[in-house]
Amino acid sequence: MATARFWLREILPYIMMFMVISFAVDLWRSQDMPSGKVPSQQLVTIKNQDIDLAALSQDKPVLVYFWATWCGACKFVTPTVNWLSGDHQVVTVAITSGSDERVKRYLEGHDLQFDAINDERGLLASAWGIQATPTIVIINKGEITSITTGISTPPGLLARLWLS
């Protein structure tokens, strides 16, 4: 018991420092991103479905996942987003990942169940001020309630959805 307390006292400051630094990095990276009301944009998935984020988020929060096929950190977050897409509203944006066909093959090849908006030239990401992939935005009742960048854990993403 004394050993556990010793290690807890040793590790706790590092955990707290990591959390503060993570929060500061998210705040800095999101400074150019929209806040408040979600931007009104014409969004169409690679399966040709129209998406209206404000309307979609009226009943339940929507997780918007900005990712790329070439993103190393996305390999850790994408399985969680895929899992969440079974029970939660998820909209994904593939940034500069090639043609619609290439993104479709990537989704099929990795057995991903979510659909994607293909931002082939990065125009949508630029309009949203995305500076890093992955970036996750939570929208509730047409308002942006949370933005996080980098690797996120399943409990972290669930908490963001539930707290929105």
Is residue 145 helix, strand or coil? strand
pLDDT at 29: 55
pLDDT at 35: 60
Distance between CA atoms of residues 80 and 159, nearest Å: 13
Q: How many structural domains is the chain composed of?
A: 1
Whether 7 is covered by a domain: the verdict is no
Task: Give the pLDDT confidence of 136-146 residue by residue, as tens digits.
Answer: 999 999 999 98
pLDDT at 23: 60
Task: Give the pLDDT confidence of 63-93 residue by residue, as tens digits.
Answer: 999 999 999 999 999 999 999 999 999 999 9
120 sits in which H/E element: none
DSSP state of 34: -
Mean residue pLDDT across the chain:
87
83 sits in which H/E element: helix 74-84
Whether 60 is covered by a domain: the verdict is yes
CATH code for the domain of 65: 3.40.30.10
pLDDT at 6: 76
pLDDT at 34: 58
pTM over 0.95: no
Whether 145 is covered by a domain: the verdict is yes
Phi, psi of 24 (to 5 degrees): -65, -40
Residues of the domain holding 87: 32-163
Compare 8 and 127 and report the one with higher pLDDT. Answer: 127
Compare 57 and 23 and report the one with higher pLDDT. Answer: 57
Whether 24 is covered by a domain: the verdict is no
Classify residue 2 by burial, with Cβ atoms within 10 Å: 0-12, 13-18, 19+.
exposed
Task: Give the pLDDT confidence of 102-119 residue by residue, as tens digits.
Answer: 999 999 999 999 999 999
